[in-house]
Chains A and B, each alone.
Chain A
Amino acid sequence: MRLQPSRRRFIQGLMSIIALSAIPLQLLARSTKAFQATALETVYKELFGDLPVEESADIMLEIPDIAENGAVVPVSVTTRIAGAEAIYVVIDMNPNPLSATFKLTPASPADISIRVKMGKSSMVRALVKTADKVYMTAKEVKVTIGGCGG
């Protein structure tokens, strides 16, 4: 009885490996150094080289002012910046500030939601990269300490 679903899942897993191997390599080149960076400047340097980061009102970063639960903080990012190639989510005070990168294609509108972990109150940044520019918007998020084990 139980074998069948697991077999199906195994095949699914196999198929996903086959599917993954067909994906162009440059899409899979992981920004390992940027994810391992511990300082915001290093993250910027690894992701954007010398491109300046400028603030923009055209990035909508939706995140609660006070996080109900630091283990699951909902984050949504949308942008109307033309030619957006990628979205980045950065949490300054986390041990490794870079949380996520999303490489966009014309087939996908720049509109993503995730849930992140936040160890403590921090500035949270959403960045959007175009061919030659980097835009950023930021929001301060307070993470409350969970009472007496509350």
Chain B
Amino acid sequence: MHKARLICVVGALMLTSACGQSEPEPESVDALPEATAAVVIDQARAAYELARQKQHAWTLTADLIESASIALANNDEAQALVDAKRALFTANASLAQAEKEQHAWRSRVAQ
């Protein structure tokens, strides 16, 4: 029974990712360098809406769009741009996930 109470490695790993605040690095953002926060927010929102339609939206995207919008409303263009780029990155990642999962799920079905 004590063994059962031990945190298994998998569990711990899952937890780290579940509870950690780490976010994907917004490196490969599509937005042009000169894009304004407002533009990137719109792009993120559009991608997010598409992900929602595919039932694959991430909660993180909505949070980031909201914080970007708040930053923009407070005239913090720099922060708004950072959050908007992250939002766009996660929205695109969720769309890629939706695309991949159209087929990938089959390999997991109990045989």
Chain A residues proximal to chain B, CB less than 8 Å: 66, 147-148
Complex: A148 Cα to B15 Cα, angstroms: 7
* Chain A contact surface mostly: loop
Task: List the 6 closest A-B pairs by CB distance, nearest first.
Answer: A148-B18, A148-B19, A148-B15, A147-B15, A66-B5, A147-B18
> Would you give 6 A-B contacts (Cβ < 8 Å), ordered by A?
A66-B5, A147-B15, A147-B18, A148-B15, A148-B18, A148-B19
Q: How many residues of B contact A (CB 8 A)?
A: 4
Nearest CB to that of B18 among chain A residues?
A148
* Chain B contact surface mostly: helix
Least CB distance, A91 to chain B, in whole angstroms:
22
Which residues on A sit within 8 Å (CB–CB) of B5? 66
Complex: A147 Cα to B12 Cα, angstroms: 10
Which residues on A sit within 8 Å (CB–CB) of B18? 147-148
Taken residue by residue from 7 to 42, chain B's Cβ proximity to chain A (1 for < 8 Å, 0 otherwise) reads as: 000000001001100000000000000000000000
Least CB distance, B22 to chain A, in whole angstroms:
14
Nearest CB to that of B20 among chain A residues?
A148
Least CB distance, B17 to chain A, in whole angstroms:
10
